[in-house]
Amino acid sequence: MSVQLETPLSRVLGAKTAKGMAETLNLHTVRHLLRHYPRRYARRGEQADLADVQVGDRVTVLAQVRSVNTRPMKNRRGTLTEVVVGDGSGRMKLVFFNHRHGQLRVNAWGMFAGTVGEYRGEKQFAHPDMHLLEGAEDETDWARALVPIYPASKDVSSWVIEKSIKTLIGAGGGFADLVEDPLPDDIRARHGLLSLPAALLDIHRPTTWEDVERATDRLKWDEALILQLTLAARRRAAALEPGIARPRRPGGLLDAVDAALPFELTEGQREVGEELAAELDRDQPMHRLLQGEVGSGKTVVALRAMAQVVDAGGQAALLAPTEVLAAQHARGIRQLLGPLGRAGELDGDPSGTRVTLLTGSLKAAAKREARADVAEGRAGIVIGTHALLQEGVEFADLGLVVVDEQHRFGVEQRDALRAKGNRPPHVLVMTATPIPRTVAMTVYGDLETSTLRQLPSGRGGVSSSVVPQLEKPAWIDRAWQRVREEVAAGRQAYVVCPRIGEVDGPDDEPEDADGAPPDTDDRRPPLAVLDVAELLRNGALAGLRLEVLHGRLGADEKEARMRAFAAGEIDVLVATTVVEVGVDVPNATVMVVMDADRFGVSQLHQLRGRVARGKHAGLCLLVTDVQLASTTGQRLQAVAATSDGFELARLDLETRREGDVLGAAQSGTRSGIRMLSLLEDEELIATARREATALLETERGLADHPGLAAEVAALATDERAEWLEKA
Ligand code: ADP
Ligand code: MG
């Protein structure tokens, strides 16, 4: 039988093993098994496994038998065998009932797997699975210094996996034929990489740590390159479907916008603006991510791009994550455009266009009118929430879609957007959450990126402190006092809470806590807007004009409160994270975040951006019950200590599981990523991206590299399979 990468495991392994692998480890083919790499390697006598294992862990350990003691049980028939094993750093007891295996001799080495239990304060395994390493069968294995420990399951142990892989590798000596190397020779040579068969041999059966390292280097390359090829192919496919060029036309809306701007553009805004203007002028649809700190002035960059498209006869849509924000954008843009944004109205300028706000909560008649404006092309600039896409709104000629605050938008939404126009529109996504380079190159790898690094000058900046309520009870009083001082000086404050409160329904979940550590059961429920507002109103902030803002208010009400806050009619806004994105009230200078530990790093950074909008210095107080010395406390202190969004984004990445980052934002890529680390492999990912782009830019693309093409296809198949499972 000839074994190939796509051969089902059921044809090469025992039925039970194959079934176990499929069901518990999601390994179905030879390819899958060869790419099931050891989690780590054990070394005789040298590691700290036993000292580190925790009760409740399911682990595989390599250890030596120290003593064996069999005695009759007191209250029952049969015998009890206690075996003490050690690994140089720790000891553990194994317990067997009626054990009959003679091989468990003192000094024997073995692998033991099971769930760690505890008996009278001592860690133990009851009836572990075990695999003794001495004896004829393992003589050769045992000469090797490193024993691979695989991700295993209760049905398939690490050593069964090891043995199965050994079977594949040993199969008729044809291993090198079985795994043809997909990497082009020149790439391999350029980067000094092992061949694939050599790397697989070394990763599964290494002799030295060096073997493992070199194999790892090579295997990471496969992952990086295949991923980048997939993304590059996606970029190319998008580019091949022509859009419509929207060239700049002088004397139109864009010039009017520029004339109306009450400030000079920063250099960054100008540069990115040029970049966008040039891209809009091509019939290849733009597909760009614009990142920039909160307050870096992304909106005006987007508005100028939208104006260019309107000048060229198309429509532009701006999508915001919340209705509050959509309304705010509409207000700001209308104000800036003046009569030019009211074409067709009595006081409008007929050479301008119409700015239309289209949100789910519009009254039926208003909605009908807005839809007609959009469908018949009177509205050049359309502003709304995601609902704009879902509600099947028709555009006369959609030329540009701007998505504000990208981190709430996944790939599927991006694809839905592209399907919106008659021909694919240009797409600009904006995010204030700085995205580490590696994430930009992977999760958002189908987008080109631009970055605004500079904040408009004249900003006060924000200083932040952690207020540990339990450790320093006096500080919280001081915090409220600071709020009163700012209000007395004519400024305004936000108090942000993780939850709305009052009703304990399912919609009382935290509104959004991206990247926050999971709640553990024994904590009190997160503080709620309604409760905190009540307390403050009757206590620390009595006498101030205090209102609440949260997602459960009707859109009109939300809008009215934001407006009142912006107009200075409210001193203190107690709110959920609805204030997180984009809300722009330059007079607000203090933000108190309650239960700050319940928010993710990037989210806190976003939040405090709300009080860095004006010329006055902002203050952000992160109130928490956690100890400063705890991991969470340190995380908060890190947020307080730096205002570098990129550094914080990196910290955020460290505190999340990488798989979540990749998996959540781009379905499927996960299946191709085993070794690659977004934190550690930045250079490798960048290099692979260059190589991938270069490969696809050649005339024949992957035609001369069937191996690579097959790997890319295999990734796509896995992706699809994952999709099917989800559906
Ligand atoms: P963000 O990037 O967070 O979306 P905005 O576009 O909302 O930032 O801009 C924040 C504020 O800065 C707005 O009030 C905007 O009018 C103002 N702004 C934008 N660009 C400049 C500039 N070049 N100089 C001064 N103020 C600016
Ligand atoms: Mg914004």
Cα-to-centroid distance, 293 and ligand 2 (Å): 9
What is the mean pLDDT of the segment spanning 62-91? 83
Closest CA relative to residue 271, chosen from 405, 453, 459, 457 = 453
Summarize the confidence of residues 650-679 as an average pLDDT.
Answer: 58
Kindly give the distance from the C-alpha atom of residue 655 to the centroid of ligand 2, in angstroms, as a whole number: 25
Tokens of 283: 């019939």
236: left (phi > 0), else alpha (psi -120 to 50), else beta?
Answer: alpha
Q: Does the pLDDT of residue 511 top 50, yes or no?
A: no
Closest Cα to residue 223, out of 438, 421, 425? Answer: 438
Q: What local confidence, expressed as pLDDT, does residue 477 receive?
A: 93
Instruction: Over range 191-201, report the average pLDDT.
Output: 93
Of all protein residues, the one whose alpha carbon is nearest to atom 9 of ligand 1 is 297
CA distance 8 to 29: 4
User: What average pLDDT score do residues 516-542 get?
Assistant: 80
- Closest-CA residue, ligand 1 atom 15, reads 297
Radius of gyration of the chain (CA): 31
Backbone phi, psi, residue 63, to 5°: -155, 170
492, β-bridge pairs:
588
Looking at residue 76, its pLDDT comes to 80
Handedness of CA 497, 500, 504, 507 (dihedral sign): negative
pLDDT tens digits for range 396-405: 999 999 988 7
Average pLDDT of the segment spanning 561-587: 85
Average pLDDT over residues 677-691: 86
Kind and range of the H or E element at 467?
strand 462-468
Rounded mean pLDDT of 47-71? 76
Q: How high is the pLDDT of residue 580?
A: 60
How far apart are the C-alpha atoms of 357 and 379, rounded to whole Å?
Answer: 9
Tokens of residue 303, six digits: 């508005």
Ranking 63-67, 366-370, 647-651, 692-696 by mean pLDDT, the lowest is 647-651
Distance CA 533, CA 545 (A): 11
List pocket residues of ligand 1, CB cut-off 6 Å: 263-266, 269, 292, 294-300, 432, 456, 582, 584, 613
- CA torsion 663-668-673-676 (nearest 10°) is -60
pLDDT exceeds 60 at position 389: yes
Task: Provide mean pLDDT across the span 495-521.
Answer: 59
Separation CA 494–CA 393 (nearest Å): 35
Displacement of CA 9 from its chain's centroid (Å): 33
Q: What is the pLDDT of residue 227?
A: 85
Mean pLDDT across the stretch 511-521?
45
Average pLDDT over residues 646-658: 71
Mutate to test the pocket of ligand 1, among 299, 306, 319 (most ligand atoms within 8 A of CB): 299
The winner for highest mean pLDDT among 88-97, 245-254, 333-342, 382-391 is: 245-254
Residue nearest to atom 19 of ligand 1 (CA): 297
Res 316 pLDDT > 90: yes
582 C-alpha to ligand 2 centroid (Å): 4
Predicted confidence (pLDDT) at residue 378 exceeds the cutoff of 90: yes
State the pLDDT at residue 409.
56
Distance of CA 464 to the CA centre of its chain: 25
> Strand, coil or helix: what is 84?
strand
Which ligand 1 atom is the nearest neighbour of the CA of 302? Answer: 6
* 414 and 445 Cβ atoms separated by less than 8 Å: no
Looking at residue 426, its pLDDT comes to 92
Cα separation, 212 vs 40, whole angstroms: 10
- Residue minimizing CA distance to atom 24 of ligand 1: 456
Does the structure show a pLDDT above 90 at 653?
A: no
Least confident stretch, 233-247, 594-608, 654-668: 654-668
What is residue 468's DSSP assignment? Answer: E
**pLDDT value of position 385:** 84
**What mean pLDDT do residues 577-583 have?**
66
The region that residue 644 occupies, defined by phi over 0 for left and psi between -120 and 50 for alpha, beta otherwise, is: beta
- Which runs of consecutive H residues, i.e. helices, occur in 431-583? 437-442, 473-488, 529-538, 555-566
Least confident of 49-58, 244-253, 470-479: 49-58
Alpha carbon nearest to ligand 1 atom 13, residue:
297
Query: Between residues 85 and 390, which one has the greater pLDDT?
Result: 85
- Do 319 and 385 contact (CB within 8 A), yes or no? yes
Residue 570 has pLDDT above 50, yes or no: yes
Among 405, 450, 156, 417, CA closest to 288: 450
Q: What percent of the chain has pLDDT over 90?
A: 35
261 CA closest ligand 1 atom index? 16
Window from 56-60, 472-476, 615-619 with minimum mean pLDDT: 56-60
Does an H or E element contain 123, and which? strand 122-126
> What is each CA distance from 454 to 66, 108, 293, 296, 580, in whole angstroms?
64, 65, 8, 6, 21
Task: Note the ligand closest to the C-alpha atom of 584.
Answer: 1
546 forms beta bridges with 572
> Which pLDDT value is given to residue 192?
94
User: Whose alpha carbon is nearest atom 26 of ligand 1?
Assistant: 456
Look at residue 719 in the predicted model and tell me its pLDDT: 56
Over residues 312-332, the mean pLDDT reads 90
Mean pLDDT, all residues of the chain: 82
For the cut 50, the answer to whether the pLDDT of residue 6 exceeds it is yes
The pLDDT of residue 507 is above 90: no
The pLDDT score that the predictor gives to residue 506 is 43
Q: Kindly list the distances between the CA atom of residue 332 and the CA atoms of 22, 251, 326, in Å, as whole numbers in the listed order.
A: 56, 22, 10
pLDDT at 661 exceeding the cut of 60: no
Give the whole-angstrom CA distance, residue 48 versus residue 40: 13
Q: Is 474 helix (H, G, I), strand (E, B) or coil?
A: helix
Give one word for 683, left, alpha or beta, with left for phi > 0 and alpha for psi -120 to 50.
alpha
pLDDT for 455 beyond 70: yes
> CA distances (Å), 112 to each of 53, 59, 86, in order?
13, 8, 11
User: Mean per-residue pLDDT for 315-325?
Assistant: 88
- Please give the pLDDT value at position 152: 86
Spatial strand order of the sheet with 448-452 comes to: 354-358, 379-385, 315-320, 398-404, 426-431, 287-292, 448-452
- 166-180, 476-490, 613-627: range with highest mean pLDDT: 476-490
Test site for ligand 1: of 257, 261, 263, 407, most ligand atoms within 8 A of the Cβ:
263
Ligand 1 centroid distance, CA of 297 (Å): 3
pLDDT digits (tens, 9 = 90+) for 705-716: 888 888 888 776
Q: What is the mean pLDDT of residues 625-632?
A: 88
Give the three-class secondary structure for 247. coil
Torsion of CA 436, 437, 443, 448, to 10 degrees: 130
Report which protein residue has its CA nearest ligand 1's atom 23: 265
pLDDT-derived band at 249 (thresholds 50, 70, 90) equals very high
Three-class secondary structure of residue 419 per DSSP: coil
Please give the Cα distance from 25 to 323 (Å, whole number). 44
**Single-letter amino acid, residue 613:** R
Closest atom of ligand 1 to 586 CA is 14
Atom of ligand 1 nearest to the CA of 264: 23
Residue 270 scores a pLDDT above 80:
yes
Q: Look-up: residue for tokens 């500080």?
A: 475
Report which protein residue has its CA nearest ligand 1's atom 20.
Answer: 297
For residues 386, 390, 396, 399, the Cα torsion angle rounded to the nearest 10 degrees is: 40
Question: In whole angstroms, what is the distance from residue 118 CA to residue 57 CA?
Answer: 11
Mean pLDDT, residues 415-440 taken together: 76
Residue to mutate (ligand 1; options 270, 296, 319, 579; most atoms within 8 A of CB): 296
Q: What is the pLDDT averaged over residues 13-17?
A: 93
Euclidean distance between CA atoms 643 and 641, whole angstroms: 7
CA 367 to ligand 2 center in whole angstroms: 25
555 CA from centroid of ligand 2 (Å)? 20
Spacing, Cα 493 to ligand 1 middle (Å): 20
In order, the DSSP letters of 182-204 are -S-HHHHHHTTPPPHHHHHHHHH
Q: Return the residue whose CA atom lies nearest to atom 17 of ligand 1.
A: 297
Mention every residue, 6+ apart, whose C-beta is less than 8 A from residue 518: none
Residue 692 phi/psi, 5° resolution? -65, -45
The rounded percent of the chain whose pLDDT value lies above 70 is 83
Ligand 1 centroid, distance to 370 Cα (angstroms) = 28
Ligand 1: residue of 300, 301, 431, 452 to mutate (most ligand atoms within 8 A of CB) is: 300
Instruction: Check residue 505 and give its pLDDT.
Output: 46
Distance between Cα 579 and ligand 1 center (Å): 17
CA of 550 to the centre of ligand 2 (A): 19
Q: Which of 584, 606, 607 to mutate to test the pocket of ligand 1 (most atoms within 8 A of CB)?
A: 584
Q: How far is the CA of 584 from the centre of ligand 1 (A)?
A: 9
Ligand nearest to the CA of 294: 1
Which ligand is nearest to the Cα of residue 301, counting in written order? 1
* pLDDT score, position 722: 47
Burial of 645 (0-12, 13-18, 19+ CB in 10 A): buried
Residue recorded with tokens 């109103």: 537
CA of 592 to the centre of ligand 2 (A): 21
What is the token pair recorded at 638?
Answer: 């890190």
Cα angle 398, 399, 405; round to 5? 90
pLDDT over 90 (residue 244): yes
Taking only the tens place, the pLDDT of each residue in 342-355 is: 888 888 888 889 99
Q: How confident is the model at residue 59 (pLDDT cuts 50, 70, 90)?
A: confident
Q: Which ligand is nearest to the CA of 645?
A: 1
Q: How far, in Å, are 497, 499, 510 from residue 507 at the CA level? A: 15, 10, 8
Q: How far is the CA of 301 from the centre of ligand 1 (A)?
A: 9
Average of per-residue pLDDT across 160-166: 91
